[in-house]
Chains A and B, each alone.
Chain A
Amino acid sequence: MKVLVAVKRVVDYNVKVRVKADGSDVDVANVKMSMNPFDEIAVEEAVRLKEAGKATEIVVVSMGVKQCEETLRTALAMGADRAILVETDTELQPLAVAKLLKAVADKEQPQLLIVGKQAIDDDANQTGQMAAALLGWAQGTFASKVDVAAETVDVTREIDGGLETVKLRLPAVVTADLRLNEPRFIKLPNIMAAKKKPLEKTSPADLGVDVTPRLKTLKVAEPAKRSAGIKVANAAELVAKLKNDAKVL
């Protein structure tokens, strides 16, 4: 079984981003970039499927600027077999990415497409769902467990207040949630070996996809600052404040 995994290059989870002075976007100049954590989980799951003898080949794909190559090399070092970079400097929105994913999937014919449930930069949570719709495949979103059989895959989903398990016919799209697995540390020898693994470059034009943005960001703002705490003199005052000011009692 061939598995296709999509990986996105995003601002590192631990970086505190600042909003640009003109409110047009966040400032990402000179900040640490890493693989989207949910995509890391997606790659890890694919590698585990291969280690378990269920997957035969793992192809990773990333869309975006040239530096996405680094993100792909990371996925190769984790255990993917080959990589595809759909290179473009155009800002990519979820629908465009979903269309590109469909085009790559049409070419590669994987049985399983695993993507992160969302990217931590835009938090759109749309790409996997839209790709499934465009491909006409079944989808198992917010996966915390993936069990692959010959023709089907059981996906345990994290839903409000519990878990739901769905059985999907292959080929299918799975979106990875946080508890699916804990990605491994990458071994240095594997990083060296990954430099020699094949990385193919293509472009939206080659794939025949129009990626022109269709949405416009009106404004980006900092979250409201938390006001400073206050000290109360005793328990009675605390209860009064919780009742009258915070209105939680």
Chain B
Amino acid sequence: MLTSPQLSALQAIIPAERIHCDADSLDRYGQDWTRYTRPQAAAVVFPLSIEEVQAVVRWANAQGVAIVPSGGRTGLSGGAVAAQGEVVLSFERMNRIDQFDPLARTVRCQAGVVTAALQAFAQEQGLLYPVDFASSGSSQIGGNIATNAGGIRVVRYGMTRDWIAGLTVVTGSGELLQCNLGLNKNNSGYDFRHLFIGSEGTLGLVVEATVRLCDPAPPSAVLLLAVPQLPDIMAVFHAFRSRLTLQAFEFFSDQALTHVLAARQAQPPLAERQPFYVLLECELPPSADDAPVLQAFEHCLEQGWVVDGVLAQSQQQARALWRLREGISAAITPRTPYKNDIAVVISRLPDFVSWLQALLARDYPDFEVLWYGHIGDGNLHINVLKPESWELEEFRHACEAVNKQVFALVAEFAGSMSAEHGVGLLKRDYLGVTRSAADIALMRGVKAVFDPNNIMNPGKLLRRAG
């Protein structure tokens, strides 16, 4: 709750109709895609300009009120959750795309531009913004930058970080910084741009970004392969990558498929089910000859890594295959899944998954565990479904108990406890799995430089001091 002097001071900088305090708004804007924390926001503000963002930050510093930056609220780690009376600063109304530079192939956009709108804009220019994932219809470029979002094309195009040529940010102390100015070359000292990418709103607010675009993707083939043994998947990856340029290399378990098919009332793509599937998209040679695709497949078949597979014959079929992968998250949302988003170096993946499979079978015997993810990046999404009869808190505690073992294994393999979803609130207490004590102490130091009064998303990523 804001005190009335606090509120009137806020109303002096943002018109009252863009400050929402009704229960519905507080609830809606107080949470992201996760459902583990009860929202408790004090107010939601919708600035229209950089000046207004700066004014709100100055106000928050003066009043000692914390700010939660809020994008499309599709985050999966509780980063955009306001559970401690913070003010939510939503970028929803700062969604202008302007200044397309066809020569530099960059476009400048406000933080609230929806990812899919940026993709569509690029397409209209005959270009591509290649970062893509199932939530791109709602997530915002600002949120993507704040989480350094990855997605389904990382194998080919990298993460959000690789596409940001410039950032305009308002720091936690209200300073306006222009980071990297959209330049290709700029060795003029510390590059703050990369500090803000992936900072989850803890250093300041991204207000504008200059985004790089690239040539559209060449014609591609989309395949679904049936894989009996999970550790063999990286051999399949190698067989295809040594012959073709991969656009995507995803996997999911048969159990995950079952949920998608049920949610979409669809038929299985292969009548004979196997424990795991690879969804693979690869670029075709200019002749559109599919011979190398068939060669790679034949090799995998001979080795016994793959037992069957289908090749999409039209874009319609390609989309239908992709929906099997992209529909998983939405299909299991009603089951309040407990999500782990982990990664190891791909060469260690076969070993890692063997251990992880054994561990989960031993420690989660009663829960349904779904496997899927961007396995070509070494990235696994392990989703544990809540049995209908369990209470949410009880379920979360049970999952956290198993986490100890899972994360011990991740640490042993020098992996990441959060590959692409960020740390936020839900993964904060596991930060030490991947980052050393010295790392974390320096992160605190960096935060203090940009956000001396600790008003930016406090308690996310780093535990509150003391």
Question: What does DSSP make chain B's interface, helix, strand, loop or mixed?
Answer: mixed
Question: With A and B bound together, what is the CA distance between A35 and B315 in angstroms?
Answer: 11
Q: Of the 9-residue stretches A11-19, A168-176, A211-219, A237-245, which lies at the interface with chain B?
A: A11-19
Count the B residues whose beta carbon is within 8 Å of the partner chain — how many? 25
Digit string of B64-106 for contact with A (CB within 8 Å is 1, else 0)? 0000000000000000000000000000000000000000000
Query: B242 an interface residue at 8 Å Cβ cutoff?
Result: no
Question: With A and B bound together, what is the CA distance between A74 and B317 in angstroms?
Answer: 13
A13: B residues at CB distance < 8 A: 314-316
A182: B residues at CB distance < 8 A: 267
Question: With A and B bound together, what is the CA distance between A117 and B436 in angstroms?
Answer: 66
Check if A188 sits within 8 Å of B310, measured CB to CB: yes
Check if B294 sits within 8 Å of A188, measured CB to CB: yes
Contact pick for A188, options B297, B316, B319, CB 8 Å: B297
Check if B309 sits within 8 Å of A188, measured CB to CB: yes
Digit string of B300-335 for contact with A (CB within 8 Å is 1, else 0)? 010000001111111111011100000000000000
A205: B residues at CB distance < 8 A: none
Check if A185 sits within 8 Å of B315, measured CB to CB: no
Contact pick for A186, options B225, B311, B320, CB 8 Å: B311
A12: B residues at CB distance < 8 A: 314-316
Question: With A and B bound together, what is the CA distance between A89 and B223 in angstroms?
Answer: 32
Question: With A and B bound together, what is the CA distance between A74 and B270 in angstroms?
Answer: 17
Check if A187 sits within 8 Å of B314, measured CB to CB: no
Question: With A and B bound together, what is the CA distance between A12 and B309 in angstroms?
Answer: 22
A20: B residues at CB distance < 8 A: none
**Which of B298, B310, B320 has the most chain A CB atoms inside 10 A of its CB?**
B310
Check if A185 sits within 8 Å of B224, measured CB to CB: yes
Query: B269 an interface residue at 8 Å Cβ cutoff?
Result: yes
Query: A201 an interface residue at 8 Å Cβ cutoff?
Result: no
Q: A14-B319, A192-B298 are in contact. Are A34 and B308 (CB under 8 A)?
A: no
Check if A74 sits within 8 Å of B309, measured CB to CB: no
13 A-B pairs within 8 Å (CB atoms) are namely: A13-B314, A14-B315, A14-B316, A34-B313, A34-B314, A37-B316, A185-B269, A185-B270, A187-B270, A188-B308, A189-B308, A189-B309, A191-B294
| Given pairs A182-B267, A187-B310, 19 additional interface contacts (CB within 8 A) | A12-B316, A14-B314, A14-B315, A32-B314, A34-B316, A35-B314, A37-B314, A40-B313, A185-B269, A185-B310, A185-B317, A186-B311, A187-B270, A188-B223, A188-B297, A188-B310, A189-B308, A191-B290, A191-B294
